Amino acid sequence: MGIVAFVTNDGFILSSAPNFRDLGGHRTAQGGTVRHGLLYRSDALHTISEPDLPVYNGLGIRQLVDLRTAHERESLPDITPEGAAYTAVSVQGPTAAGGNFSEALLDRERARAMFADGAADRFMFDVYRELVTDPVALTGYRDLVERAAEGPTALVFHCSAGKDRTGWGAALLLTLLDVDRAAVVADYLASNARQENTDKWMRLLAEHSGLEWDELIPMTRVRAEYLESSFAHIDEVYGSFDGYVSDALAVSPATVAALRARMVA
């Protein structure tokens, strides 16, 4: 018999992937509740430890959606849970803001130009705008929504830190499920207490870059302003969130209805 786990947004399910979380439990505008155990969001999944494997394999995950770039996937391949299908779904092209930024940090001159003297903060706002306009991102997030709607579930989607690319994916899905914006933002901000793994490799990159840690902090944490900038950019470019979904993502009303039917009790 597999492991049955009721997991919450404030619980640490996997100590070796601290930002692995269940999106279930949120209330919707219609009075429903997002079902537990169907949608998980996570940070890197190459880090799953031997002690965590029984829990990881026992969650009933049937789809793993990897939002990382090709370079990240090849460098640090995922540990796929037993019985799950692995799919790579890029949401950043190689020239997008944030695409393979770790390579830039290995080049001191490039790193200083991109991230020093407050540039890291501007960089993050660029990332969040591109996540809702870049053609690769639009195709990738449409794929994520359709996979969540069509199943099989449970599904886990992730990037490296589980906060930006995954953060927008979670915000998109929860908003489609009619979860209140304040709850969406709260779920997004919960990543800040779960960056232990990310901080380790970011500090190593900081040493190579020649930058001070304080200069890179904007890239290591989430801020409500980052997420709100994505929603604001959607309004500027597409007129509304509904316009973004229908016109930019090209997600059909039938897919949204199927997502809600599957995910909301």
* Residue appearing with tokens 């209805």: 257
Q: Which two tokens stand for residue 75?
A: 């460098």
- Tell me the pairing of strands 39-42 and 85-88: unpaired
| Residue 247 annotated as catalytic | no
Question: Which is catalytic among the residues 61, 89, 137, 159?
Answer: 159
Cα dihedral 133, 153, 46, 55, rounded to 10, equals 140
The closest alpha carbon to 14, from 72, 81, 69, 74, belongs to 81
Q: At what angle do helices 119-130 and 108-115 cross, to 10 degrees?
A: 80
The torsion region of residue 73 among left (phi > 0), alpha (psi -120 to 50) and beta comes to alpha
Give the residue numbers marked as catalytic. Answer: 159
